[in-house]
Every structure is written in C-alpha cells, then in structure tokens.
Structure 1
C-alpha cells in the first residue's frame, strides 16, 4: 500500500482498497479503457502513471490529466445508466492498479457517509481543476497553453534544483503538445524559443524551468493554489 496519501481523498483510501475486486500490474502503453467502451469498473492507481485523454473532432488527442499514486480514473461513469467511458486511459509508467466494480462503489458510497463526502469533495476539486485548465487553453492561445502546462507540471512533478525546477517526468514534444491541443511542430518552435531565452533547458527528455516568473507573467498567472494548478 502507498505510504503517501493525497489530501483530497486520503481518509478513505484504505476503504477503496478494501472493496477493490482485485489488484493487477499495469504496463507502459497499455490502455486501461478507451473512450466509448462500456464502463463497469473504476480504477485506483496504486503506483505508476496513467494518462487521461480525449480525441477531438478533428482527430487530435488532447491530454487532460495524468493520474498518479492514489488517483482514481473512470469516475465520470458513476451513477449513470448504461455508462460508457467518456475518455481514454493509457499507462505512461508501469505500476499497479486496484480495480473497483462500479456497482460495488456506488453501494459503498450510499452506505458510508464519510466515503460519500470524500468523493463529493474530490469530484468538486477535480471539476475545478478541469475548468481552470480549459480557461487557460481558451484564453491564452497555443503558446500560453504550453506555458500554463509547464507551470502545472512544476506543481505536480517539480523538484527544486540549484538552477531551477526539474519536471521529473519524461516528456516528448508530441506528448507535451497533446496537453495543449497543439502540433509537435508548434510545440518544438515554442520550446526552442524558451531555450534561447534561457527560460528552460531539456536534458534526457526532462525539462528544467529556470525562470518560472517569465512563464507566469506571459499568461497573467493568477497564482492559483497548487492543489488546483496541476496536471493531475
């Protein structure tokens, strides 16, 4: 069982593991579920990372968040009839996940008021994060969306170093562009501009932010709490 529990729903993690149907290993590039498939289960990530994404009308993939330890995915199907997954979930980093049947979890939420409260709180936080991300995508344009994504990633995966903040997550330019709804070429161009200005550097697929204030000033960052301004 993980040692670190996320504050949004940490009290009931042990309860979720107790009602889980089974725990299974997950492998890199494995799809846990795909958009449009019949939804009968939810998933809690015990270890590893899972990318949640949606295919847009023009065929591009838009990455909405990355689930890590103790995160839940597939939750949008709760309390709906004949549910289908609205998004797709693909493994980025191998690990382990607990599988919870939808009907079992719904029953547990009705019977356990503390669990129900934690889920309401978690869903409220989740929707607020999604709203702020779409706000950034709509209002700041492609370049601003990339700046916003980098800021969010420092809050989720940032490690403070002497010369800046290392985003401790391997990212190709294509994957980074998927978070912003932009092409790999557009992402390359913007990242190269930031490198020339000394705002970022990239080594072995990991980005270090040397001047986060530059990124924040460019998009008029409101300095939202990190609990909302993240990529999870």
Structure 2
C-alpha cells in the first residue's frame, strides 16, 4: 500500500491537546512487522504517531484479518478503552513501516484531563467518533456481507484519499486487491469478482496504476443503505 502525502485527515486534534500528549509522553521507536499492541492485552498506554505507518486490525471468528485503519503521522491509536476499569485493547496494531511514536500512560493522561474540562470533552468526543467508526465497520459487514464491506471501504477511501473532478472521484491510493480483501475480511478472489461487477456496471474504473475512480458513488451508498454519516465516520 502506498499512502499519498496529501492525505485528508479527520483525526486532527487541537494544538492544545496535542501539546498535552507530547508533554507527558515518551518517544519510542517502532519497527516494520512488529506489533505496537495486540487485542486482548492490557491497555496501559495510547500512542501518538510521529512517523511511520501502522495498521489497525481485528481477527474475525473465522480467523481472517479485518483491517480497520491505516494510520500515519499525527494519528492517535489505542484509545478506545480510556477511563475504563481493567482496560484491554479491542484491536491490534501492526507496524507497516519503521517510525516513531509518543507513548502516553493512560493513568497520567486521565489525571491531566481531569484538571482541564475543555480538553477532557475534546478527547471524549474524539474517542466517541472512533468507537462509531468501529461499530459502523462491523455493521456494514454484518448487515451487507462482503459486498457491503467492500462498498463501504470504497466510500471511506473516497472520503480520505479522494480527488473529485467532473462528478467522479479518483481514490489517490495504490492498494492491492489482497489489501482490499483485508479491509473486508474476504479473499483476493472475491474482491476481484466484486470489482469486475462494478466495472461492468460502470460504477468504477481502474487505471494502469491500479488506482480506482468512482463514477457513481450514489450506487454504492444506496446499495448498502449508507446513512450519509459525518465524514469523520
């Protein structure tokens, strides 16, 4: 997967909250193919990415990997269980490229936030938005199956990496069908078949660089009953 440098971001936090995280955190190096954290393990820290790329995923009951997010500089990861007793990571974080993170102890963060109601509210709102993303991903997969998972993934990519021209949206991201399959908890072959169906209906096209252009995003939204949620979801 090649992440473009001009990626839109819906994860930006205020300078005040970022400065707080930086002031109480500790720098750590991360290395490709390592896990920053694994689901089910005790969650004592959250992380602010300074460089590198990580992937957030979960294993399904069938043993397949369901990929949720690809995170980069300035993204926060591991923060879905703050303020909870005996917190455990709900997801896993695999390091895709070498980089650096700021590790923030949750008990220290909670102590600092309790003394600043404005930043506490911002953090809770941020965490709530990510929980909604987590839930909506499962909803798409459970209610609409593999097709729903693929269609919603294309919609999300169009929001994060889309370049809109003449009512079409170029997803400015190079991603393989296997990687798309990881986002949908399905096989590369199933993704091939579903993409071919969309091409035959002129809903999408794929150029020589393997970048997808969406010609009819309304078709994708209507097929899965998209609720037109806020772009951050």
For the superposition of Structure 1 and Structure 2, which TM-score range results when normalised by the shorter chain?
0.7 to 0.9
Range moving further from structure 2, 13-22 or 36-45: 36-45
User: SS of the residue aligned with 1:12?
Assistant: helix
Residue among 136, 146, 168 paired with 1:164: 168
What residue is the counterpart of 1:101 in the other structure? Answer: 105
C-alpha displacement of 1:33: 1.4
Distance (whole Å) between structure 1 residues aligned to residue 158 and residue 176 of structure 2? 16
Q: Normalised by the size of structure 2, how large is the TM-score? A: 0.82
Q: Is the 8 A contact 1:201 1:207 kept in 2?
A: yes
What residue is the counterpart of 2:218 in the other structure? Answer: 213
What residue is the counterpart of 1:180 in the other structure? Answer: 184
Range moving further from structure 2, 140-149 or 199-208: 199-208
Q: Cα distance 1:31–1:206, how it changes in 2: closer, same or farther (>3 A)?
A: farther
Q: Cα distance 1:35–1:74, how it changes in 2: closer, same or farther (>3 A)?
A: same
Q: Is the 8 A contact 1:8 1:121 kept in 2?
A: no
Q: Cα distance 1:74–1:216, how it changes in 2: closer, same or farther (>3 A)?
A: same
What residue is the counterpart of 1:84 in the other structure? Answer: 88
Structure 2 stretches lacking a partner, 5+ long: 1-7
Distance (whole Å) between structure 2 residues aligned to residue 140 and residue 108 of structure 1? 42
How many residues of Structure 1 are paired with residues of Structure 2 in the alignment? Answer: 224
Q: Normalised by the size of structure 1, how large is the TM-score? A: 0.82
Distance (whole Å) between structure 2 residues aligned to residue 140 and residue 102 of structure 1? 36
Structure 1 stretches lacking a partner, 5+ long: none
What residue is the counterpart of 2:140 in the other structure? Answer: 136
Q: CA RMSD in A?
A: 2.6
C-alpha displacement of 1:154: 0.6
Q: Is the 8 A contact 1:8 1:122 kept in 2?
A: no
